[in-house]
Amino acid sequence: SSELTQDPAVSVALGQTVRITCQGDSLRRYYASWYQQKPGQAPVLVFSGQNNRPSGIPDRFSGSSSGNTASLIITGAQAEDEADYYCNCRDSSGNHVVVFGGGTKLTVL
């Protein structure tokens, strides 16, 4: 099965822009989705596909993709954005098997 690789930890200064990346062969074929998870809470979808931001998600969250790398971009990070972020996408097998990245802990300084 495919794998998605994320940096374990990233930090950003308050108000600055941060890019969280996700790498994997499946991303050459399928779009990624991104989830925010705060301690003790269920994950929340914050961005998916080419340009889909769910209702209620601030527009400072955006995404991009190139080759085998997908990125979640937070423009003007806020203190409340401190959380774990996970990417996922369909497995390269073509079946509806899904793979998650290992997660990135975002610290807002």
Binding site for another protein (CB under 8 A): 1, 30-31, 33, 35, 37, 42-45, 48-49, 52, 54, 84, 86, 88-90, 95-103
Choose between 30 and 61: whose C-beta lies nearer to another protein. Answer: 30
HSE-up of residue 17 (Cα within 13 Å, Cβ side): 10
Question: Rounded to whole angstroms, what are the CA distances from 50 to 8, 19, 34, 84?
Answer: 24, 16, 12, 22
Question: Which DSSP state fits 23?
Answer: E
CB of 80 to another protein, least distance (A): 19
Which residue's CB is nearer to another protein, number 15 or number 54? 54
Smaller CB distance to another protein: residue 35 or 61?
35
